[in-house]
Amino acid sequence: MIAVVRGGARTRLGIGAALAFVAGAVALTAYARSIEGNDFRNWLIATASAIQDGAHNTADSAAIRYRVTNPLGVNTFLEQEVDPTKRRRSLEMARTAGFHWIRQQFPWADIEPDEKGRFIGAFGESTWDKYDAIVSLAQEQGLELIVRLDTTPKWARTGNPHVATPPDRLDDFGDYVGAVVSRYRGRVRYYQVWNEPNLTVEWGMTPVDAVAATELLRVAYVRAKAADPDAVILAPALSPTISEASDAMNELIFLQQMYDAGASRYFDIGSVQAYGLRGGPDDRRLGPGDVNFSRPILFREVMVRNGDAEKPIWASEVAWNVPPAGAPEPHQWGQVTEAQQARYTVRALERARTEWPWMGVMNVWYLKRPDDREAGTLLAGFRLLDPDFTARPIYHAIERYSRGRGYSGSTP
């Protein structure tokens, strides 16, 4: 007979129950030893949090706009690729993996670098040429662009050396937005205004300001719609953080402040960053101190409370990090192996597809960089392809998943 203690009382188990208890413990121990790294911890968290998971005010039955069939997207840095043949190969490999969407920055600082109205580069070339080529290549591959509109040229941010700085005059930013949207009318439909304005590093190293971010969004929205009434505007992606400081504000608080400032009228699609960080894709904890893959649920609840149940959310960045050998610690974005990164990302895509009817495009962070300047840094631990186009396990996992789902790069 085996005795176990429950709440201070001794309870006798029958032989059958005791054997089952021992067998279960042995099986659990064997399972723990058979899986990799922190998978067992994440499995326990996923199991426990699923049991405790309650109802959420996410309006899952709402008639969501801008539905997509293939939600697979990936972030690209094609503007940094000097060789046009490598740009082409990047998009060919994106399409082969099953991606339909690419989230690509069209930086104002690069397009109108030296003075207002002058679209000329350092060697006398048109600054539009590179971006025209990117749009054409995407169309050729059957891929759809989400164009990210941000950064500010030096002439429009006097006294601030940081490129990710709001402009001195919002009308100048509006002119840039209008120029981009007019140029690509009928070829590009989706535009995102700014990135992570709830962090000072994306807001000129100055205190974050939801009201100012809303006004920037308003100007961009009005100018984009004037240039192309069919343009669809994504709100700026907000960085998930539990901080409430002036240098990094909790995105749920920042979002509510944007709503209070009237932001609902000036975006068509909400945006989140869906990072797993130190947890697995099925970590369902939603406490005030939890930053995990489930956090978009809380973001969705804020949107629903503010009357935006019919607007979808698109994930601007989805990722787990594999710190390269020698990368400095602490590993601020968590740490997984390449095999875990591949499995977690695929599981995250599937969980969003089956559980979150309000979630649309999921943009994996990121496809590749043009060179290895980030070698040995944590940033290199996100890439799907090495600079020489060697595919990492995550790339192949997404390719298998997309084939299994019947996706292809040309499926909208």
pLDDT in tens, 347-367: 999 999 999 999 999 999 999
Mean pLDDT over 219-244 rounds to 97
> Does 80 fall in a domain?
yes
> Does 51 fall in a domain?
no
> Does 23 fall in a domain?
no
Q: CA 91 to CA 79: how far, in whole Å?
A: 13
**The token pair that represents 182 in the structure block:** 């007019």
Q: What is the rounded (10 degree) CA torsion for 302, 303, 306, 309?
A: -140
> CB-hemisphere CA count at 13 Å for 230?
7
Output the average pLDDT for the chain: 91
The pLDDT tens digits for 125-173 are 999 999 999 999 999 999 999 999 999 999 999 999 999 999 999 999 9
> Does 160 fall in a domain?
yes
> Does 354 fall in a domain?
yes
Q: CA 362 to CA 402: how far, in whole Å?
A: 13
Helix and strand totals (H; E) in the chain: 11, 10
Determine the structural domain holding residue 68 and report its residue range: 62-405
Residue 13 has pLDDT above 80, yes or no: no
**The token pair that represents 117 in the structure block:** 């109205």
> Does 4 fall in a domain?
no
Q: CA 11 to CA 265: how far, in whole Å?
A: 62
- Selected residue with higher pLDDT from 70 and 17: 70
Rounded to two decimals, the pTM is 0.90
Q: Which pLDDT does position 1 carry in this prediction?
A: 34
Q: CA 336 to CA 74: how far, in whole Å?
A: 20
Residue 213, phi-psi category: left (phi > 0), alpha (psi -120 to 50), beta (remainder): alpha
Domain holding 292: CATH number?
Answer: 3.20.20.80
**pLDDT band at residue 28 under the 50/70/90 scheme:** very low
CB 277 within 8 A of CB 335: no
Residue 55 has pLDDT above 80, yes or no: yes
> Does 338 fall in a domain?
yes
DSSP notation for 332-364: TT----HHHHHHHHHHHHHHHHHH-TTEEEEEE
The pLDDT tens digits for 363-401 are 999 999 999 999 999 999 999 999 999 999 999 999 999
Residue 104 has pLDDT above 50, yes or no: yes
Q: CA 365 to CA 145: how far, in whole Å?
A: 15
CB 59 within 8 A of CB 400: no
Residue 12 has pLDDT above 60, yes or no: no
> Does 24 fall in a domain?
no
Mean pLDDT over 212-231 rounds to 98
Q: How many domains are contained in the chain?
A: 1
**pLDDT band at residue 27 under the 50/70/90 scheme:** very low
What share of the chain has pLDDT > 70, as a percent?
A: 90
Q: Residue 274 — φ and ψ, nearest 5°?
A: -110, 80
DSSP state of 385: B
Q: Residue 54 — φ and ψ, nearest 5°?
A: -110, -170
Say how far residue 255 (Cα) sits from the centre of its chain: 16
Q: Which pLDDT does position 37 carry in this prediction?
A: 59
